[in-house]
Amino acid sequence: MRIRDTWTGRVGIIMAVAGSAVGLGNFLRFPVQAVENGGGAFMIPYLVALLFLAIPLCWVEWAMGRAAGSAGHGSGPGIFNFFAPSRAARWFGALGILIPLLIYLYYIYIESWCLAFAFFALSGDLSKAVEADQVAGFLTSYQGVGSTDWFSNMSVAFIFFLITFAMNFFVVYLGVRRGIELVTKIATPILIALGIFIAYHVITLGAPDPAKPDWSSLRGFGFLWNPDLSALLNAKVWLAAAGQVFFTASVGLGLIITYASYLKKNDDIALSSLSAISINEFLEVIIGASIAIPAAYIFFGPSGAADIAASGGFNLGFVTMPIIFWKMPLSAFLAFFWFFLLFLAGVTSSISMLQPAIAFFEDELGWSRKKSVSVLFAFTFLASQPAIWFLAKGVLDTLDFWAGTFLVVIFAFGEALLFGWFFGAEDGFKEIQRSAAIKVPMIFKYIIKYVTPLYLGVILLVWLYQNGGSLIPSTSSPNFRYEVATLVGMALVFIILIALVEIADRRGAFSARAQKGGSR
Amino acid sequence: MSVGGWVMMTLFWALTLGLNLFCLYKLLTVRPSDVD
């Protein structure tokens, strides 16, 4: 009988889950959201969402994963079936494999840009782009969208994609303990150290231009933190805060349940989950808020920083930040550290996206790790090509809109209902408390049962009201054919997954829980 | 930075650091045998 991998200790899984949660959003999305939604006032709905949405949902996912993992199930279909044995639960649980896989298909490409930009920062090529339009040209020609003296085709971008892709698969091939745990134990502390180092540089900049004494780091922090309390009356601000908290915690993706399935039966989850969240919050509220936006204010002033924030986090990270670094001492190293920081944040997230599928292949289909990784390698390599070659045709955006935004809220809503109502809040709360290293306040039993599903339901309804029309591609869109093809491709992947779930069911994977439990 | 800005930044930095220190303290002091 095959013995499932386990974490060596709680530091390993805390670093892995924190690494999975910390991503580009901590450093790019969060500060932009704060500036656009009332500054310091944004943090009030943010805190509410953290308490009522992220923390309870994380506990739910950790508890679901640990319980089902001890019976030999580490992916959505097996975990959902464990709590509510039925075909509907298994099919719905397949979303816990589909979502991370679809996100991986484009996330890996963006991750490779970070590696490439880190390389070009050190080589000196990036520093030749000194104005915003030049950096933007550097980026778009690198992506193959245009042509410049730097890049005339996508060959360099593809080489960096191949390197990044191979690195990710090498890590997951080594397994949970020797691959993911080892890498995240090294990468996450480096990521924290790099973040502190860059933030320290921004904080200590003062007012570098004597002609503009008002463009100082202190005022830059004020630009982000000065509260506009009237924003609290705006429902959009509360929704934006809930969305930010939801996405930063990496809930609803099927990742935490899979990672938690490699815990031992009596490992703590209450403290480990809270610790992973606290690391993520440190890298968001303190480090994430202290780099990009204050730096943009120092070098571009209040109106410039407002324009940069309005252009979005992605532009801020790849176009504005290099220009800012060129104005600072040790510019090449700072730019390298910045993009390497984003790359590490990306790697620790992307490896977690592969694990649910591997867990499904190993646990439910009985495949070896070599076979699981090989099949997944071949599939993701082929399926990620459209996001690379048809970037300008909206393939990446369609994948992100569906998998990265819509389906995660659906999946999290299903998890909350399953745990709080089908499994039952009473038993669920006991499961969270079992072997806990901290006492979870009793109020969370009611929060998990009533508040969290209601919170998610409201987010889902408002999201559908605001964006529901965009779920169906518009015939007037110039990329209509590409968007439809992407949707058809996503549906095909889901159908294949459902077929595999059925095959696993026929071979008795979902009825042999008790026997598998003996392997722990 | 306004007084409100200072208050919000100090409050949320303190909350975040406090949560991290609490978790670190518990991780260092609560041994597995204490919880079984």
Amino acid letter, A419: F
Chain B residues within 8 A of A248 when measuring between CB atoms? none
Position with higher pLDDT, A298 vs A243 = A298
Q: B25 to chain A, minimum CA–CA distance in Å?
A: 11
What length is written for chain A?
520
Looking at residues A416-432, what average pLDDT do you find?
92
**Token pair for A8:** 């060596």
**Contact pairs from chain A to chain B, CB under 8 Å:** 82
Chain B residues within 8 A of A221 when measuring between CB atoms? 1, 5, 9
What chain A residue is nearest to B30 in terms of C-alpha separation? A437
Instruction: Kindly list the residues of chain A whose beta carbon comes within 8 Å of any beta carbon in chain B.
Output: 10-11, 14, 39-41, 43, 47, 218-219, 221-222, 225-227, 229, 266, 268, 271, 274-275, 277-279, 281-282, 285-286, 435-438
CA angle A476, A481, A484 (to 5 degrees): 100
The string of pLDDT tens digits covering residues A28-73 is 889 999 998 999 999 999 999 999 999 999 999 999 999 999 999 9
Chain B residues within 8 A of A436 when measuring between CB atoms? 35
pLDDT, residue A519, reads 37
How far apart, in whole angstroms, are the C-alpha atoms of residue A420 and residue A434? 16
Tell which of A225, A248, A273, A287 to mutate to test the B interface (max B CBs under 10 Å).
A225
Place of tokens 């982000």: A224
The string of pLDDT tens digits covering residues A148-181 is 888 888 999 999 999 999 999 999 999 999 999 9
Contact B8 A435 (CB under 8 A): no
Please give the helix or strand (H or E) that residue A79 lies within, else none: helix A76-83
Q: What is the share, in percent, of chain A residues with pLDDT greater than 70?
A: 98
Write the DSSP assignment of A24-53 as a string of letters: HIIIIIHHHHHHHTTGGGGHHHHHHHIIII
Where residue A313 falls among pLDDT bands split at 50, 70, 90? confident
Tell which of A42, A278, A435 to mutate to test the B interface (max B CBs under 10 Å).
A278
Where residue A9 falls among pLDDT bands split at 50, 70, 90? confident
In 3D space, the residue among A400, A76, A49 whose CA is nearest the CA of residue A255 turns out to be: A76
The string of pLDDT tens digits covering residues A212-257 is 999 999 999 999 999 999 999 888 888 888 888 988 898 888 899 9
pLDDT at A516 over 50: no
Contact between A30 and A290 (Cβ < 8 Å): no
* Helices A217-225/A182-203 angle, 10° precision: 110
Contact A278 B20 (CB under 8 A): yes
Nearest beta carbon to residue B26 from set A266, A286, A438:
A438
pLDDT, residue B36, reads 46
**Token pair for A477:** 């869109």
Write the DSSP assignment of A151-198 as a string of letters: -SSSHHHHHHHHHHHHHHHHHHHTHIIIIIIHHHHHHHHHHHHHHHHH
pLDDT, residue A518, reads 38
Chain A residues within 8 A of B23 when measuring between CB atoms? 271, 274-275, 278
3-state secondary structure of B22: helix
Contact B17 A268 (CB under 8 A): no
Inform me whether the C-beta atom of residue B28 falls under 8 Å from chain A C-beta atoms.
no
In 3D space, the residue among A69, A67, A71, A262 whose CA is nearest the CA of residue A178 turns out to be: A262
How far apart, in whole angstroms, are the C-alpha atoms of residue A35 and residue A300? 15
Contact A47 B15 (CB under 8 A): yes
Highest mean pLDDT: which range of A86-90, A307-311, A406-410:
A86-90
In 3D space, the residue among A382, A381, A228, A209 whose CA is nearest the CA of residue A300 turns out to be: A209
Write the DSSP assignment of A271-337 as a string of letters: HHHHHHHHHHHIIIIITGGGSHHHHHHHHHHHHHHHHHHHT-HHHIIIIIHHHHHHTSTTHHHHHHH
Inform me whether the C-beta atom of residue B35 falls under 8 Å from chain A C-beta atoms.
yes
Looking at residues B4-32, what average pLDDT do you find?
92
pTM of this prediction exceeds 0.90:
yes
Least confident of A46-60, A389-403, B18-32: A389-403
Q: Backbone dihedral region of A517: left (phi > 0), alpha (psi from -120 to 50 degrees) or beta?
A: alpha
Looking at residues B6-21, what average pLDDT do you find?
96
What chain B residue is nearest to A219 in terms of C-alpha separation? B1
pLDDT at A515 over 80: no
How far apart, in whole angstroms, are the C-alpha atoms of residue A190 and residue A231? 36
With 0-12 / 13-18 / 19 or more C-beta atoms within 10 angstroms meaning exposed / middle / buried, residue A508 is exposed
Chain A residues within 8 A of B9 when measuring between CB atoms? 40, 221, 225
* Helices A95-123/A331-364 angle, 10° precision: 160
Report DSSP state, residue A260.
Answer: H
Contact between A339 and A114 (Cβ < 8 Å): yes
pLDDT, residue A117, reads 95
Terminal-residue alpha carbon distance, chain B: 49
Q: A507 to chain B, minimum CA–CA distance in Å?
A: 36
pLDDT at B1 over 90: no
Nearest beta carbon to residue A275 from set B6, B27, B32:
B27
pLDDT at A312 over 90: no
Contact B5 A226 (CB under 8 A): yes
Give φ, ψ of A22 to 5 degrees: -75, 120
How far apart, in whole angstroms, are the C-alpha atoms of residue A486 and residue A477? 14
Chain A residues within 8 A of B26 when measuring between CB atoms? 271, 437-438
pLDDT, residue A512, reads 55
Contact between A273 and A257 (Cβ < 8 Å): no
Contact B35 A268 (CB under 8 A): yes
pLDDT, residue A1, reads 56
What chain A residue is nearest to B10 in terms of C-alpha separation? A225
Q: What does the mean pLDDT of chain A come to?
A: 91
Contact between A57 and A416 (Cβ < 8 Å): yes
Contact B4 A226 (CB under 8 A): yes
What chain B residue is nearest to A221 in terms of C-alpha separation? B1
Chain A residues within 8 A of B34 when measuring between CB atoms? 437
How far apart, in whole angstroms, are the C-alpha atoms of residue A173 and residue A183? 12
Contact between A335 and A361 (Cβ < 8 Å): no
pLDDT, residue B32, reads 59
Amino acid letter, A432: I
Looking at residues A86-104, what average pLDDT do you find?
95
Amino acid letter, A163: I
* Helices A270-281/A10-21 angle, 10° precision: 40
Looking at residues A270-282, what average pLDDT do you find?
96
